Structure 1
Amino acid sequence: MRWVRTATFYVMLLVSTVLLGLTAIAIVLITHRSDWAHLCGRLWGNLNLRAAGVSVDVHGLERLNPQRPVVYAANHQSWFDIFAILGKLPVQFRWLAKEELFRIPILGHAMRLIGYVPIDRSDRKKAFQSLDEASRRVREGTSIVIFPEGTRSRDGVLQPFKKGGIILAIQSGQPIVPIALSGSHKILSKGSRWVRPGRIRMTIGDPIDTAGFSLQDRDRLIEMVREAIRRHLTQREGGSLEETGSVAQDRSAAL
Structure 2
Amino acid sequence: MGPFRNRAGRVRTTVIRTLFVLGTGVVLTFALSAWVRFSGLVRAPWAHDHCSRASSFWGRAMVRLAGVQVVLEGATREKLDRPLVVVANHQSWFDVFVLAGFLPGRARFVAKEELRRIPIFGAAWETCGHVRVNRGDRAEAVRSLNEAGARIRNERLNVILFPEGTRSADGHLLPFKKGAFVLALQTQVPILPVGVSGSRAVMGKDSFRIRPGVITVRLGEPISVDGLTTADRDEVLNRARRDILDLMDPRDAAPSLAHPPTPHPIPSETPATNPATNPSTSTENTE
Which residue of the other structure, out of 121, 127, 140, is the alignment partner of 1:113?
127
Residue in structure 2 matched with residue 209 of structure 1 by the alignment:
224
Give the one of 36, 41, 44 matched to 2:55.
Answer: 41
Matched, 1:53 2:50: no
Unaligned stretches of 5+ residues in structure 1? 248-255
Q: Which has the larger radius of gyration?
A: 2
State how far apart, in whole Å, the 1-side matches of 2:62 and 2:49 are. Answer: 21
Secondary structure of 2:196's match? strand
The one-letter code matched in structure 1 to 2:38 is: A
Cα drift, residue 205 of structure 1: 1.1
Give the corresponding residue for 1:12: 24
Please say if 1:149 is aligned against 2:151: no
AA at the equivalent of 1:15: V
DSSP-derived class of the 1:171 partner? helix
Contact 2:178 2:233 in 1 (8 A): yes
SS in structure 1 at match of 2:225? coil
Conserved 8 A contact 2:245-2:258 = no
Secondary structure at 1:153's aligned position in 2?
Answer: coil
1:9, CA displacement in angstroms? Answer: 0.9
User: Identity rate of aligned residues, in percent?
Assistant: 39
1:66 is displaced (CA, Å) by 4.7
- Alignment-mate amino acid for residue 161 of structure 1: F
> Could you tell me which residue of structure 1 aligns to residue 149 of structure 2?
135
Give the Cα–Cα distance (whole angstroms) in 1 for the partners of residues 39 and 72 of structure 2. 29
CA RMSD of aligned residues (A): 1.6
Q: CA deviation at 1:62?
A: 1.0
Secondary structure of the residue aligned to 1:231 is helix
The residue aligned with 2:246 is 231
TM-score (norm 1): 0.92
Structure 1 residue 244: Cα displacement: 7.6
SS of alignment partner, residue 175 of structure 2: coil
Q: Does 1:81 align with 2:99?
A: no
CA distance 1:102–1:4, shift in 2 (3 Å): same
Aligned partner letter, 1:216:
A
Deviation for aligned residue 1:109 = 0.5
**Other-structure match for 1:250:** none
- The answer for the alignment partner of 1:24 in structure 2 is 36
Q: Measure how far apart 1:229 and its partner are.
A: 1.0
Contact conserved, 2:81 with 2:105, CA < 8 A, in 1?
Answer: no
Moved more, 180-189 or 19-28: 19-28
Deviation at 1:243, TM superposition (A): 4.3
Q: Distance in 1 between matches of 2:74 and 2:257?
A: 29
- Residues 97 and 146, structure 1, Cα contact 8 Å, conserved in 2: yes
Aligned residue in 1 for 2:214: 199
> Residues 94, 243 of structure 1: CA spacing in aligned structure 2 closer, same or farther, 3 A cutoff?
closer
Are 1:174 and 2:186 an aligned pair? Answer: no
Alpha carbons of structure 1 residues 244 and 99: separation in structure 2 relative to 1, 3 Å: farther
The CA deviation at 1:29 is 3.2
Task: List, as ranges, runs of 4+ consecutive aligned residues in structure 1 with deviation greater than 4 Å.
Answer: 63-66, 243-247
Q: 2: distance between equivalents of 1:91 and 1:64? A: 12
Tell me which residue corresponds to 2:233. 218
Is the 2:79–2:221 Cα contact (8 Å) retained in structure 1? no
Relative to the length of structure 2, the TM-score reads 0.82
Gaps of 5+ in 2: 1-12, 262-287
Q: Is 134-143 or 163-172 further displaced after alignment?
A: 134-143
Matched to 1:213, the amino acid is: L
- Shift of the alpha carbon at 1:151? 0.7
Question: Does the Cα contact within 8 Å between 1:27 and 1:37 map onto a contact in 2?
Answer: no
Alignment-derived partner of residue 180 in structure 2: 165
Q: Distance in 1 between matches of 2:102 and 2:70?
A: 8
